[in-house]
Structure 1
Amino acid sequence: MMKKNYITAFDGLRAVGVLAVIAYHLYPQTVQGGYLGVVLFFVLSGYLITDLLSREYRKNQTIDLKGFYLRRFKRLMPLLVTVFLVTSLYLTAFQPNMLNQMRMSFVSALLSFYNWWQIAKGGSYFANLMAEAPFKHVYSLAIEAQFYMIWPVILLLAFKLIKRRSLLIFSLLLISILSGLEMALLYQPGQDPTRVYYGTDTRLFSLLIGASAALAFPSQDQRLAKLVRARQKGLNRLFLLAMLLMLASLIYLSGQSDVIYRGGMFSFSLLSALLIVLSTQANLYLTRFLSNPLFRYLGERSYGLYLWQMPVFTLFELKFPGATGSWLVLLELILLLGLTEIFYRLVEKPARSVKWQSFKEKGRVFFATPATIGKAVGISSFYTLAFIGIFAMIGIFQAPDLSYAQETIAAQLSQNQTKEKLGQASMSQETIETLSQQYEVSSQVFVQEEPIAIVGDSMIAMTYDHLRQAFPTAYIDGIIGRSGEHGVPMLEETLAQIPDAKKVVISLGINTDGPVILNRNTIDQMMSVLADKEVYWMTINLSQSQYTWTDQVNAELQAASQTYDNFHLIDWYQATIGQESAYLAEDMTHPNQAGQVLYTKMILEALAQ
């Protein structure tokens, strides 16, 4: 359906996209492809912006760039700033250890380079390394904002210089293919894919596919309308098939699959473009379904739902660590919807409609005159929010900035996880004596007659140099962001490389699969793979970090050690609790130099027993 030039079915697609992303963050094991909702948003943004600018150019033979940028600013920035301020105020009052790097997160989001900042400092979208969990989803807004900055200018020049529309469409599709190829080439299986996931260049194809679709099939295209009248039954079937394929992708296409970065995301963008084009036709059945009141309601608030979801889910998890009950999920969703609705009426909707000339002339502020509340209440709301905003800004700009230290940590992790996994060197007696003094252990612990594997997450990666020094012939494999869901594939790869390993050291538990921490089911699956091995598992200590699942993970590991005769705990938690400043790096997660020595010493002593 269309209301003037407004296509209500697009609200339905927005609802599908934001619901997929929310479901992915709540149930990552069930809705494995929910992150693709962001791809749908990209394609839809490319289509809408290009369609809007094309109609403006056809009408006026030019594009009002100033007006476009002002509309985008009013649409995106007021709510984005509000989410940062409200979340920062909460953190300042109740969770100050989460404020690390808030200043740079805020500035980079406001200036729309958050994704490149993360790439430059080695941040990982897939690892809980930095204290940016409430805002790491704003990378997508940065990519869109960068597109909005340059696309109107490029499109205006293209309209003036390229007379054949087909040539422009072909050029955009060619650039889209090159962007998709870049993603495929830069992606390295088994490595953290954050560079290709965050990069504007490697995600550009989704936006340009949407733009190409808008140029080929504009929203008011009479040719397509005639085709629908002539082939309505067939197009209804095509629409249904495309929607079913999208839903299947949102459920089953895991972000850990190689195929996603080697054509899968590109293909999903094409599928999204097909659905968008078909949604412009009011006579199709699914167009009417996508225009239902519930989807329209959610679609109109999809921006707010997307922005609020990560702060709500992250802070809720901190308040109720390990809680997975359905009533708690319902409470999260109610809180998310409530915040979205409140600030939709107080900020988002008024900001879109405010006339900035009126603001300059009459001294009005959009908070003061929302259409849905009285003037006196509106003015009071404005001053209350302004007062709150001041305190939130104080929290942001007084937050500790450990960027240099954490960039160093990230760089070390990235470097170490690419080092040789299988060692070959042997140790001389002189070297053994030197190492026994360095690690304060008996020289006998270096007598390693059986093959050893040491595998896991970034704790292993951080300690790689010391581990390689102490275990020169061991198989050592530590990867940033590894969590329980990667455990079985990790072990299968390990045993394929070193099948005769008798002892396996594991470090998993500092990362989560969305809200799911390392659990007994995962441990049991991994132990079934290692049934004939001696397993040594490191406990975790995140007690001084922003993450709260230390006790839950360690309890699971303790229970497993009492169930399996071949399961042995190496108690990193007990060795470092209360001494985090001495043994942990600035992120209060990974070991510093002294911690790496202790970490290695504990493994040496455990394997020697």
Structure 2
Amino acid sequence: MIDRTEIEKRDYIAAFDGLRAIAIMSIVGHQMMAYRIPGGFLGLNIFLLLSGYFMTASLMDSLMKNGKVPLKSFLTKRLKRIIIPTFAMIVAVIFYLLLFQRELLVNLRSTMVSNLFFMNNWWQIIQENDHAITVLTQSPFSHLWYMSLAVQYYLLWPILFVFLSVMIKKHQVLQKVVLALLVASVLLMITKDFSNVHFLRIFFGTDTRAFSVLTGAVVALLFPIQRFYGEYKQKYRYESVIRFVPIVLLVLSLFVMKEHSHLTFRGGMFIFDVIVAALMMISLHPKSVTSLFFRLKPLTVIGRRSLSYYLWYLPLSVLYQAKIGDTSSTPVLHRIVEIVLLVILGELWYQLFEKGKFSKVMNQLSAQWTHSTRRTVKMVYSAAVALILLIGFIQASPRLSAQESALQEVLLASESLSQNTRNTDKKVVKTINNIQGLSREETVFSSNTSITFIGDTMLLAMAQEIPTLYPNAVISANRDLQVFELGTMIDQLKEQKQLGDIIVLMVGSNGAYTKGQLDAVLKKIGMDKQIFLVSNTINRTWQGQINQISNNLAEKYSNVYYIDWKTESSTHPDWFYEKASIVNTTGAHQQGLWIAKMIYQTLRGS
């Protein structure tokens, strides 16, 4: 635990390390178990608030003591803390991929370049985070959009703040101007159209996420750390208890807010930032009860390593899962292995780059070398790094571009079809054409069936087969759909009277879910409906787990049935895009016929 004299000496706020620990644990927990911690992505907001606070506090301190800010040294010092470990991680991952998992280099060229120039957030916006790419091949660098965002703020905010400080002499007016910028950023977020495309613009945008940094800046302007050097006195009887209210609200937000919820981006995220800001303010004094809580040794240790943990949590997960395959038989064991590997790599990166031991070792070694030797070693080292990046860039050829382009076209067409089926009045089909692959009885049955398909990418990939098989079908699909978000979609379908007598659920492509969560969805749909759960083929670690859950619930309820598409398609790799995950056009046709046959056999056949 940091001594108070040390805190005063360095203006160090140990409690904020505890907040960083909460942030990184939320992020890692969300990545591993989004169905358990749906709001874990909000950990990034905590990072941004703390960055805004420390940048502004440091700038204000320099202005008050020296009357100016040495911008060059200020920016160099802080950017090096981010850029060097990030760059080293990228080089290390590419080197590993070249040696052991070259198949994951596919389509990494633009990702590598955008990350090396710290513009990945805007690249993902421009690319609309192409869902076809993320489905067919996971990227170990997709989380680095946040590092790009952080670098942009470290470049922009100090310059803007110094400019405002020079132009505005009164501190209170400066506070109001920063607050106005904060409000403008919030308005940019809440007024933008919320759709799949605009969601990415809102989530990754430098302007729409600026309010988190600005909230931290406002806290720094209102409550500089120097105000809390005096003795701490409790003013109210239950003050210690009241101070824990923001902690409770913060934890509650992590379990309630959802990544694709309108509530989150219509003010919910800003409310979360206000909660964190309140927590920061009441934790500034080193003797306050919340400060003591966040200064617990385990939290401060994790918090100080949060950058290194953040850099490695996704690459480790992607590389490990791609190597191991389906881990659903022993998920807890594999999660523990991933966490242990993360702790080891995070500690290594923390010691080498954040604590500067890499530089210290190199300096100690180079002290014994001649000038010529130092220059040679530096050239060899630079050439090796450049060679790794160059080979990685060349190897990362767009080999799957044709498949991705085809899948993207299918997904877009299916999304349009889904919308049309929900906006078109259903009429009784009078002319029933024969469908090759179905008997006359199966065709007549499907043509007059009141049916609703609900799902994610798995449904969108085969959705264009549905109107032929089920002319009266309603299709409700969302690429990013999670099972724990299904309640809102079902309520909308009920309100619009578009929930058919038969419901087909095709979910699980975006993450695992619990038996209780799917059970709740089935009950919300209603026990008066005939519900069919289609097994998932997504090439992810949770595939076996969710298919088993669906099968178990089908055995539990008499109106719920399990369609084992996974087994049916297992001997037909030609029905899928690469990696046997999402059906291609041939597979979509076969899947549509299989579902139609299974529904008919279950409800009408022998």
* Fold shared per TM-score above 0.5: yes
Q: Measured at CA, do residues 556 and 143 of structure 1 come closer, stay the same or move farther in structure 2, by a change above 3 Å? A: same
Q: Secondary structure at the match of 1:171?
A: helix
CA positional deviation for 1:38: 1.3
Q: Secondary structure at the match of 1:172?
A: helix
Q: In the alignment, what sits opposite 2:594?
A: 602
Q: Measured at CA, do residues 239 and 540 of structure 1 come closer, stay the same or move farther in structure 2, by a change above 3 Å? A: closer
1:80 aligns with 2:86: yes
User: Would the aligned equivalents of 2:442 and 2:596 in 1 still touch at CA under 8 Å?
Assistant: no
1:299 aligns with 2:303: yes
Instruction: Give the distance between the partners of 2:151 and 2:216, measured in 1 at CA.
Output: 15
Alignment of 1:479-558 (within 5 A): 479-487=478-486, 490-498=489-497, 501-512=500-511, 517-518=512-513, 520-528=515-523, 529-542=525-538, 547-557=540-550
Instruction: Give the distance between the partners of 2:207 and 2:406, measured in 1 at CA.
Output: 25
Counterpart among 263, 266, 269 of residue 265 in structure 1 = 269
User: Would the aligned equivalents of 2:132 and 2:408 in 1 still touch at CA under 8 Å?
Assistant: no
Instruction: Give the distance between the partners of 1:500 and 1:7, measured in 2 at CA.
Output: 54
Alignment of 1:400-479 (within 5 A): 400-401=397-398, 402=400, 406=404, 409-410=407-408, 413=411, 416-417=414-415, 419-422=419-422, 423-424=424-425, 433=433, 436=435, 445=443, 448-479=447-478
Greater alpha carbon shift after TM alignment, 153-162 vs 98-107: 98-107
Partner amino acid for 1:340?
G
> For each residue in 1:2-43, what CA deviation from the matched residue of structure 2 results, as whole angstroms up to 9, or x when unmatched?
142333232222222222323333444444433222111111
In the comparison of the two structures, how many residue pairs are matched? 580
Greater alpha carbon shift after TM alignment, 311-320 vs 155-164: 311-320
Partner amino acid for 1:284?
S
Instruction: Give the distance between the partners of 1:110 and 1:300, measured in 2 at CA.
Output: 24
Q: Secondary structure at the match of 1:344?
A: helix
CA positional deviation for 1:47: 0.8
Q: Secondary structure at the match of 1:129?
A: helix
User: Would the aligned equivalents of 2:108 and 2:139 in 1 still touch at CA under 8 Å?
Assistant: no
User: Would the aligned equivalents of 2:429 and 2:448 in 1 still touch at CA under 8 Å?
Assistant: no
Q: In the alignment, what sits opposite 1:209?
A: 215
Q: Secondary structure at the match of 2:225?
A: coil
> For each residue in 1:424-463, what CA deviation from the matched residue of structure 2 results, as whole angstroms up to 9, or x when unmatched?
3558878x54x846x8875961562231111111222344
1:15 aligns with 2:21: yes
Gaps of 5+ in 1: 355-365
Partner amino acid for 1:160?
V
Instruction: Give the distance between the partners of 1:278 and 1:524, measured in 2 at CA.
Output: 41
Identity between Structure 1 and Structure 2 (%): 25
Instruction: Give the distance between the partners of 2:298 and 2:264, measured in 1 at CA.
Output: 31
> For each residue in 1:93-147, what CA deviation from the matched residue of structure 2 results, as whole angstroms up to 9, or x when unmatched?
4444333322322222222222222222222799963634533322222221111
Q: In the alignment, what sits opposite 2:395?
A: 398
Instruction: Give the distance between the partners of 2:114 and 2:91, measured in 1 at CA.
Output: 14
Q: Measured at CA, do residues 217 and 553 of structure 1 come closer, stay the same or move farther in structure 2, by a change above 3 Å? A: closer
Gaps of 5+ in 2: 602-606
Alignment of 1:213-292 (within 5 A): 213-220=219-226, 222=227, 231=235, 239-255=243-259, 257-292=261-296
Q: Measured at CA, do residues 229 and 407 of structure 1 come closer, stay the same or move farther in structure 2, by a change above 3 Å? A: farther
Q: Measured at CA, do residues 537 and 31 of structure 1 come closer, stay the same or move farther in structure 2, by a change above 3 Å? A: closer
Counterpart among 147, 153, 170 of residue 176 in structure 2 = 170
User: Would the aligned equivalents of 1:350 and 1:369 in 2 still touch at CA under 8 Å?
Assistant: no
User: Would the aligned equivalents of 2:493 and 2:499 in 1 still touch at CA under 8 Å?
Assistant: no
Q: Measured at CA, do residues 165 and 63 of structure 1 come closer, stay the same or move farther in structure 2, by a change above 3 Å? A: same
Q: Measured at CA, do residues 469 and 148 of structure 1 come closer, stay the same or move farther in structure 2, by a change above 3 Å? A: farther
Alignment of 1:14-413 (within 5 A): 14-123=20-129, 129=135, 131-132=137-138, 134-186=140-192, 188=194, 193-220=199-226, 222=227, 231=235, 239-255=243-259, 257-318=261-322, 319=324, 321-322=327-328, 326-350=332-356, 368-369=362-363, 390-391=387-388, 394-395=391-392, 397-401=394-398, 402=400, 406=404, 409-410=407-408, 413=411
CA positional deviation for 1:277: 3.2
Q: Secondary structure at the match of 1:62?
A: coil
Instruction: Give the distance between the partners of 2:591 and 2:198, measured in 1 at CA.
Output: 24
Instruction: Give the distance between the partners of 1:280 and 1:375, measured in 2 at CA.
Output: 46
Greater alpha carbon shift after TM alignment, 105-114 vs 499-508: 499-508
Q: Measured at CA, do residues 330 and 568 of structure 1 come closer, stay the same or move farther in structure 2, by a change above 3 Å? A: closer
Instruction: Give the distance between the partners of 1:218 and 1:386, measured in 2 at CA.
Output: 46
> For each residue in 1:217-267, what CA deviation from the matched residue of structure 2 results, as whole angstroms up to 9, or x when unmatched?
2222x4x65696695978756543333332333344444544322222112
Q: Measured at CA, do residues 316 and 385 of structure 1 come closer, stay the same or move farther in structure 2, by a change above 3 Å? A: farther
**CA RMSD, 1 decimal:** 4.0
Q: Secondary structure at the match of 1:453?
A: strand
Instruction: Give the distance between the partners of 2:282 and 2:522, measured in 1 at CA.
Output: 50
Instruction: Give the distance between the partners of 1:16 and 1:136, measured in 2 at CA.
Output: 22
CA positional deviation for 1:338: 1.1
Q: Secondary structure at the match of 2:140?
A: helix
Q: Measured at CA, do residues 246 and 53 of structure 1 come closer, stay the same or move farther in structure 2, by a change above 3 Å? A: same
